[in-house]
Amino acid sequence: MSTETVTIQKLGAQGDGIVQGADGPIYVPFALPGETVAIARVKSEGTLMSIASASPDRREPHCRHFGPDGVNGTCGGCTLQHYADAPYRAFKRQLVIDALRSKGLTPEVDDLIAAHPGERRRVVFAARKTEKDMLIGFNQAESHHIVAIEECPIASPGIMAQLPAIRAVGAALAINAEAFRISVLETLTGLDLAVDGIKGLSDKHRRSAIETVLALRGVGRVSLNGEVLVETTKPIIDFSGVQISPPSGAFTQATKAAEEAMVELVATHIGKAKRIADLFAGSGTFSLRLARIGRVHAVESEEKALAALDHAARNTQGLKPVSIERRDLFRRPLMAQELKNYDAVIFDPPRAGAEFQTKELARSVVKKIVAISCNPLTLARDLAILTEAGYRITKVTPIDQFLWTSHVEVVVALEK
């Protein structure tokens, strides 16, 4: 380890400050462009020790767990809480621009749709039982150490108000000192807790845990490793007037504000399309809303998510017909011949993107496509396939769903 003073040149894609050293780039978490800082260096990794000259864009962090002076954050949940709003948002927009340029794409990119504190309705906590306490919090960056939290400015007030109940559920289920995860979703009817990583729960321990949950208020359902332990109230989320009960631990958009922004962009682009395919449909974030516009075919590999979507569609008045298909689109994408039946296609795949499905879309005659992604790099790859086949990008909108991190959501509209 060596100690040296450096001046940060730029931010990297993960939000680390970068300075070019004699033998390659040095990455310095929590440092900002233009700052002169003292670092402890091990190879290409620099630990920020002190700031000799601070950037005018540096600000006091919102949360005590980020670090007392914004120099070295302890909680690993946020990486850019010390960055002023305007340059932070410009950084996220630039991530999208750079990803597109890497594939030779140069469309105009809209300003970032901003996220705000207190919007996160879905949070994944790290948890571990100690001799004295039940730790609920987040892992420190690059570490298995859990930072127990008392506040979290990104999480919804509803989740934070129930932190004692979440801690009680964790304590009731923990059988040893092994770490596990508690995924928390705030719904209209209470919290939905999905616990993963606990094995070997005895029947006696299970009954005791269920009794603990039944005595709590504000917790509607608790599951363990995908199995529902107790459900006092069916969790309900609202998709613009369509109410759905998602399966335990199912994917949902992290914030309702971002979800509604995405839906508005999608609906605006597809216009009055009569036949719509929603690929990687999940529990129906888009399908159930777009069914007010036209007939929707929802394709998804997760059986429980698809069943929840189907149930909601069948029990909501005023929707056009919604058909469902369970299908692994990575292994068996919808072929160009199948896609000819649709006026518009929406696809919102996992971070790996949808390369094989995109190649079939490129061969299709679908007039309008909306691509949605939380990974600008795989999105750029997929968009390049479509543009090479004659599709034109008409709108690119980055959305900040993951406040104070380097993750950014993107919605892209294309036309044949």
Q: Which residues are catalytic?
A: 374
Q: How far apart are CA 192 and CA 122, in angstroms?
A: 10
Q: How far apart are CA 203 and CA 222, in angstroms?
A: 16
- Cβ contact 301:329 at 8 Å: yes
Whether 192 has a binding-site annotation, put simply, is: no
Whether 347 has a binding-site annotation, put simply, is: no
Q: What is the DSSP string of 223-247?
A: EETTEEEEESS---EEETTEEE-PP
Strand partners for 277 = 297, 345
Most distant CA atoms of the chain, gap in Å: 67
Whether 409 has a binding-site annotation, put simply, is: no
Which among 44, 55, 42, 45 has a CA at the least distance from the CA of 7?
A: 55
- Cβ contact 193:222 at 8 Å: yes
Whether 338 has a binding-site annotation, put simply, is: no
Q: Which residue has the tokens 């086949």?
A: 389
First-last CA distance in the chain: 55
How many CB atoms within 10 Å of residue 53?
Answer: 10
- Cβ contact 405:66 at 8 Å: no
Name the binding residues for S-adenosyl-L-methionine: 253, 280, 300, 348
